[in-house]
Amino acid sequence: MTENTASTTQTSTGEKAKGSRVGEVATAGRDKTIKVVVSYVAKHPKYGKYVRRRTVLHAHDEGNVAQVGDRVEVVPCRPMSKTKSWRLSRIVEQRRGE
């Protein structure tokens, strides 16, 4: 069984793959697992004010390459555990060195 590479998840124009999300790595302490926080703004249905929201995703990181603070792209995959059904596609931007 062959694994899809990061180059196949992008389209020819460099756009995001279908169903993928871009977020920031919150934790990377577990082996081959990262927690990605996807932040967005949504309009409140009653009051119309824009409210910050976030979605927390657990993603599979096969090579343990992502670090806390990195901006990454994750794509959906088959469930690997109870909470992990996303896979790391690529690192969009690495955390700036301190």
pLDDT tens, 34-90? 999 999 999 999 999 999 999 999 999 999 999 999 999 999 999 999 999 999 999
Domain with 78 in it: 19-93
**From CA 5, how far away is CA 42, in angstroms rounded?**
32
| Single-letter residue type at 73 | E
Residue 85, in any domain of the structure: yes
Do residues 61 and 34 lie in contact, with contact meaning Cβ atoms separated by under 8 Å?
yes
Residue 5, in any domain of the structure: no
pLDDT-derived band at 97 (thresholds 50, 70, 90) equals confident
Residue 12, in any domain of the structure: no
Based on the structure, what is the number of domains in the chain?
A: 1
CATH number at residue 81: 2.40.50.140
Residue 1, in any domain of the structure: no
Note the pLDDT of residue 10: 52
